[in-house]
């Protein structure tokens, strides 16, 4: 017995007596007894040790610690993070954006309440905060979509080996020359930048931003070069002077400084051992592949079409009438044997009823194989049985289902719902008995016979297996019983009576 029961009962009686005398003067005069009873009620009256208070694995950050309960702190935070535009900011925005863009900016800012951002979406100050929240003018490939490149698709060309080698060699030489030229251009830009920083601020008219852009994209150097065939600007007179012209001494000094820095850069380039600085990159090699520039911006390759020399050597199993549903050609043979279309074959109900694993003992050991029994039916009076065996279970099941479709036979149905009377069949030691039942009776039979009746369109049947219930034999016996039903016309001919009399006598009292 638990030790808490008598104490609980004693305490309850004590409290009950105290409540019953709550209006009496003696109770008012003894408040200590009530306090004692209350303290006893709060105490534990069992022998187990008290459980310690559970602690959360995560630190609980309260709103007070975040400063969400102090209006002055929130106002200060809003003033720091979300200040209003000053007159200078508004003037700068008017110079940068059109009136329509300014109107869109105002509408977007009015749609977002700064108080909600301050109270619910406090700006993160942890080291894992995203760094792309504030700037939407620069695309980041990690978060933003790349703009689609306007390219013209080209037809694939199938060259012979010699032509392909010549074209590939010319392309690699062109890419290598371009890499080398870009390296020399960047080296020249770095030399000019150092000369400009040391003593050539007035001697070199290229700005720092222009030098950076040229170093990043050497193709921009063509803007400052004179192409052959174009009219060159008139050269100034050697004795001319002016604020925009260099003296002979300044020109000589500039040439010497540029040559010195240029030699240093060449020495650095010659000492580089990384071949990747000069060799084409993988992206450039992909751009020169069969798909061209489109392959560099998309993972989907273009259609290759018919390959010369291979066209016609392989038979295609694709049937235009299948609409691409049987590209592998699994159903082509069954279509030829049954004369049905692919849509009709796929609409047939198929199910594997029995799966049996067998082993064949050979000199190499036991060879396991799978024996499968499957059925197929259209749900409207046709049922087929297929048996297949293979070392692969999937192949055996697929073969058995296709055989069941090929072996479908008509099943007699009385009023399109049940069998003609009582039918029985025997396979080995298994006996299956099927009984016709009135409308609405349903299928009250074992699950394998249930699937066979549903596939053939039978609805009101009772079944019984008084002897062996072997799975494979039961399926075969049920199939034989459904296929070999008694024919009322043959009974009528044998008895020499009319069909109406045979129906009345044969089914009298059995169905209704």
Alpha helices in 21-134 (DSSP H): 25-29, 31-42, 63-66, 71-81, 87-96, 99-111, 114-119
Q: What is the pLDDT along the chain (512 residues), one digit of tens a residue?
A: 444 444 444 444 444 444 444 444 444 444 444 444 444 444 555 555 666 666 666 667 677 777 777 888 888 888 887 888 889 988 999 988 999 989 988 888 888 888 777 776 566 666 666 655 555 666 666 666 666 666 665 666 777 888 888 988 888 888 888 888 888 888 888 888 888 777 665 667 777 788 888 888 888 877 777 666 556 555 555 555 555 566 777 778 778 888 888 888 888 877 765 666 666 776 667 666 655 555 555 556 566 666 777 766 766 656 778 877 887 778 888 998 988 988 899 999 999 999 999 899 999 899 999 999 999 999 999 999 999 999 999 999 999 999 999 999 999 998 888 998 899 999 999 999 999 998 889 999 999 999 999 999 999 999 999 999 999 999 999 999 999 998 888 888 888 876 664 545 444 444 43
Neighbours of 503 (CB within 10 A): 15
Of residues 484, 348, 349, 495, the one with CA closest to residue 419: 484
- Show the tokens assigned to 125: 């100050």
Buried b vs exposed e over 276-293: b needs ≥16 C-beta within 10 Å? eeeebeeeeeebbeebbb
Query: Given the structure tokens 């296709």, which residue do they identify?
Result: 402
Q: Phi and psi at residue 457, in whole multiples of 5°?
A: 90, 25
Q: Say if residues 387 and 368 touch (Cβ distance below 8 Å).
A: no
Positive or negative, the CA dihedral 80, 82, 83, 86 is positive
In the sheet that 349-362 helps form, which strands lie side by side, from edge to edge?
349-362, 365-377, 382-390, 409-410
Question: In a 3-state reduction of DSSP, which class is residue 171?
Answer: helix
Distance in angstroms (rounded) separating the CA atoms of residues 355 and 369:
11
Query: Given the structure tokens 């100034």, which residue do they identify?
Result: 236
Confirm whether pTM is higher than 0.85.
Answer: no
Distance in angstroms (rounded) separating the CA atoms of residues 425 and 446:
15
- Show the tokens assigned to 174: 């062109």
Buried b vs exposed e over 66-80: b needs ≥16 C-beta within 10 Å? eebeeeeebeebbee
């Amino acid at each position: 017995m638990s030790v808490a029961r008598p104490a609980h009962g004693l305490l309850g009686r004590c409290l009950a007596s105290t409540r019953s005398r709550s209006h009496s003067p003696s109770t008012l005069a003894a408040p200590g007894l009530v306090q004692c009873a209350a303290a006893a009620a709060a105490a534990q009256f069992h022998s187990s040790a008290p459980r310690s208070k559970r602690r959360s694995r995560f630190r609980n950050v309260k709103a007070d610690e975040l400063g969400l309960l102090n209006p002055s702190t929130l106002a200060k935070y809003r003033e720091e993070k979300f200040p209003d535009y000053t007159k200078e900011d508004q003037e700068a925005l008017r110079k940068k954006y059109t009136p329509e863009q300014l109107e869109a900016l105002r509408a977007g800012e009015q749609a977002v309440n700064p108080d909600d951002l301050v109270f619910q979406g406090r700006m993160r100050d942890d080291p894992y905060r995203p760094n792309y929240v504030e700037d939407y003018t620069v695309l980041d490939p990690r978060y933003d979509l790349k703009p689609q490149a306007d390219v013209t698709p080209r037809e694939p060309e199938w060259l012979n080996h010699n032509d392909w080698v010549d074209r590939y060699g010319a392309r690699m030489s062109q890419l290598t020359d371009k890499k080398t030229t870009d390296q020399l251009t960047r080296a020249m830009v770095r030399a000019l930048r150092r000369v400009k920083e040391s003593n050539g601020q007035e001697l070199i008219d290229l700005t720092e931003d222009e030098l950076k852009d040229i170093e990043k994209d050497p193709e921009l150097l063509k803007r400052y070069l004179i192409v052959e065939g174009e009219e060159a600007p008139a050269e100034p007179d050697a004795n001319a002077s002016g604020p925009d012209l260099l003296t002979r001494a300044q020109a000589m000094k500039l040439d010497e400084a540029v040559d010195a820095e240029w030699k240093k850069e060449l020495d650095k380039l010659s000492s580089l051992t990384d071949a990747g600085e000069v060799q084409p990159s993988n992206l450039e090699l992909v751009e020169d592949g069969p798909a061209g520039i489109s392959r560099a911006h998309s993972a989907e390759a273009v259609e290759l079409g018919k390959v010369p020399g291979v066209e016609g050597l392989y038979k295609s199993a694709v049937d235009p009438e299948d609409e691409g549903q049987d590209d592998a050609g699994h159903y082509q043979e069954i279509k030829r044997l049954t004369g049905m279309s692919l849509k009709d074959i796929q609409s047939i109900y198929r199910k594997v009823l029995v799966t049996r694993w067998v082993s064949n003992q050979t000199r190499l050991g036991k060879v396991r194989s799978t024996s499968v029994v499957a059925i197929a039916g259209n749900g409207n009076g046709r049922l087929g049985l297929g048996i297949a065996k293979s070392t692969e279970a999937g192949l055996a099941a697929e073969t058995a289902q296709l055989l069941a479709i090929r072996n479908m036979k008509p099943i007699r149905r009385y009023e399109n719902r049940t069998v003609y009377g009582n039918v029985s069949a025997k396979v080995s030691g298994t006996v299956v008995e099927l009984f016709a039942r009135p409308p609405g009776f349903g299928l009250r039979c074992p699950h394998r016979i249930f699937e066979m009746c549903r596939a053939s369109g039978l609805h009101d049947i009772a079944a019984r297996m008084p002897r062996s219930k072997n799975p494979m034999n039961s399926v075969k016996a049920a199939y034989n019983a459904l296929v070999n039903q008694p024919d009322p016309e043959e009974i009528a001919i044998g008895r020499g009576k009319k069909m109406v009399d045979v129906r009345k006598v044969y089914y009298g009292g059995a169905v209704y």
